[in-house]
Amino acid sequence: MAISPAKDVNVMSNNALIKPSELEARIPLTATAEEVVLDSRRQLEAVLNGEDERFAVIVGPCSIHDQSGALDYAARLKPLADRLSDRIMIVMRVYFEKPRTTVGWKGLIYDPNLNDTYQIEDGLHRARKLLMEIAETGLSSATEFLDPIVPQYVSDLVTWAAIGARTTESQIHRQMASGLSMPVGFKNGTDGDPQTAVDALVAASTPQAFLGIDHDGQASIVETRGNRHCHLVMRGGRSGTNFDARSIGAAAEALRKADAPTPIVVDCSHGNSNKDHTRQHIAFREVLQQRLAGNSDLIGVMLESNINAGAQKLGADPAELEYGISITDSCIGWDETVDLLDWAYEAIGSDVAVPAD
């Protein structure tokens, strides 16, 4: 059949993608992984609802570019998470999609070989396999959903999801979040104003109907009941940081005026560190002090952390990359991560109510 010259003018190729159900059949959800995901979601929901007084920490690499390095990080994080679990709930950042201001490497799902070959189906395989391997260790995962098709392939392995600053205003992402099965954090916009995210989580908590795909990859009309566990993530912005008590109080008031859930997570990176990883600890310590002073709206933080500190440029030869160093945003190193979490554990003390099993 001839293609009209009015159609696909700038499309170079259009290749069929594996169905979500086929990928799940190749990498099936194990009983162990399923229990880890369901139990960690229940725990995080309890933290959000104020039924579990532990402090939540979403920590890990800015983005995953090396599966071996990610598993190494997970192997280090799991015993730390277990040791601190009576006061701190730890979820590992496992990010495969990176929104770009202009251009750049878009994440493991889109370019798993780091060489602009865009083997997206291979990227989906790698992402699902890695999430499965992490869950099998007993550790829970957090990620950002950027493309609304991706959750059908991996969401059954995710405990917490983020909607980023660039997409919080997007109706498509608000609709998608309304149907996701895990708690979802909406980040304030790049300007630093939380109102966009407040509007977003109100929309995402409401039943929606929109276009999507089902588990067999068929275009579908998706109807949702709304996600009751959406919340605000303060990440700073062009206007500066917004983790101070005044900014947090103003954000909480905006949430109450909108009759929205009031739990707040603070992202210690991005605008709240002025993109300087050596300043993440400032936000981390300040937020925890506010929490200990009685601000129960502050339920957790995000930290960008890797095996080694800093960041590196992705050049023409991925083999030249240094091990355990981010190729996107700069991260704190493992030793500082342990020091910060141990400090938090001691600061919180033992007066924390954790619901019985």
Tell me the residue type at 41: R
Q: By CB neighbour count within 10 A (0-12 exposed, 13-18 middle, 19+ buried), where does 273 fall?
A: buried
Query: DSSP string spanning 147-201?
Result: STTTHHHHGGG-SEEEE-TTTTT-HHHHHHHHH-SS-EEEEPPTTS-THHHHHHH
Task: With a cut of 80, say whether residue 208 has pLDDT above it.
Answer: yes
Contact predicate 138/90, CB 8 Å: no
Sign of torsion over alpha carbons 2, 5, 6, 9: positive
Residues β-bridged to residue 303? 59
Token code pair at residue 250:
């103003």
What is the model's pLDDT at position 351?
Answer: 61
| DSSP 8-state class, residue 293 | T
Average pLDDT, the chain: 95
End-to-end distance of the chain based on CA atoms, in angstroms? 61
Q: Which residue has the higher pLDDT, 33 or 3?
A: 33
> pLDDT tens digits for 147-192?
999 999 999 999 999 999 999 999 999 999 999 999 999 999 999 9
Report the distance separating Cα 348 and Cα 72, nearest Å: 28
Q: By CB neighbour count within 10 A (0-12 exposed, 13-18 middle, 19+ buried), where does 250 fall?
A: middle
Residue 330: half-sphere exposure toward Cβ, Cα within 13 Å: 12
Question: Cα 34 from chain centroid?
Answer: 19
What is the model's pLDDT at position 90?
Answer: 98
> pLDDT tens digits for 265-307?
999 999 999 999 999 999 999 999 999 999 999 999 999 999 9
| Percent of the chain topping pLDDT 90 | 92
Task: With a cut of 90, say whether residue 1 has pLDDT above it.
Answer: no
Confidence bin at 143 (pLDDT 50/70/90):
very high
Task: With a cut of 90, say whether residue 357 has pLDDT above it.
Answer: no
Task: With a cut of 70, say whether residue 350 has pLDDT above it.
Answer: no
What is the model's pLDDT at position 49?
Answer: 96
Report the distance separating Cα 245 and Cα 242, nearest Å: 8
Report the distance separating Cα 77 and Cα 56, nearest Å: 14
> pLDDT tens digits for 215-267?
999 999 999 999 999 999 999 999 899 999 999 999 999 999 999 999 999 99
> pLDDT tens digits for 7-55?
889 998 889 999 999 999 999 999 999 999 999 999 999 999 999 999 9
Q: By CB neighbour count within 10 A (0-12 exposed, 13-18 middle, 19+ buried), where does 335 fall?
A: exposed
Three-class SS state of 239: coil
What is the model's pLDDT at position 237?
Answer: 95
Cα 356 to Cα 43, 91, 117, 247: the distances in Å are: 11, 20, 50, 34
Report the distance separating Cα 56 and Cα 58, nearest Å: 7
Report the distance separating Cα 8 and Cα 28, nearest Å: 36
Confidence bin at 102 (pLDDT 50/70/90):
confident
Cα 254 to Cα 54, 265, 294, 347, 356: the distances in Å are: 24, 15, 19, 29, 33
20-317+336-348, which class in CATH?
alpha beta
Range with the lowest mean pLDDT among 176-185, 224-233, 324-333, 347-356? 347-356
